[in-house]
Amino acid sequence: MGSLTREDLFSLEQYAQERPEFRARVLEHKKTRKVMLGENLTLYFEDRLTMQYQIQEMLRIEKIFEADGIQEELDAYNPLIPDGSNIKATMMVEFDDVEERKQALTELVGIEDHVWVQAAGHDKVYAISDEDLDRSDAEKTSAVHFSRFEFTPDMVKDLQSGAALAMGCDHPRYSYSIDALDDATRVSLLADLQ
């Protein structure tokens, strides 16, 4: 799936013109890349297109047009693009009520290490989270984590042959699982494993 380079990006002027159509395309694409694990845990699976959109939006908002600034954004977001043996997600712990969220983040310490994916017939693959920096400590976890799920070649082969893809979380204070993702989401995520 390859990293993004400056040549892959629109200039600020081009992006202003292309943004409505590009944004609509990305939002449609994202519909099959969101998995809710219960009411309070959501995985937003990233890929080259979602990261291009994120970078373009950051450049637009911050009005970044200099080469060094553009490279900083590329360096920050390229690690979230799958590289053929994995799928990568932004994991969100979501509670609308601020006080409820604060309490939950103290109770869910380590939740990022309890989220898993599983190709039918294979062991669970647990998330490798927050490789860039720690987002949890002994007191509380963060509401946002960045996670990578690594697959073996046999898992990829079986998924490509039609094996179901399950997901879940087995944290002692938050347990939820999906036996098989819907076909559209499964197919979208399989594209990351090429």
Q: What is the pLDDT of residues 133-182, one digit of tens each?
A: 777 778 899 999 999 999 999 999 999 999 999 999 999 999 999 999 99
User: pTM higher than 0.85 for the full model?
Assistant: yes
pLDDT band at 1 (very low <50, low <70, confident <90, very high): low
Q: Angle CA(112)–CA(44)–CA(101) in degrees, nearest 5?
A: 55
* pLDDT of 101 above 70: yes
d(CA 7, CA 11): 9
81-99 average pLDDT score: 95
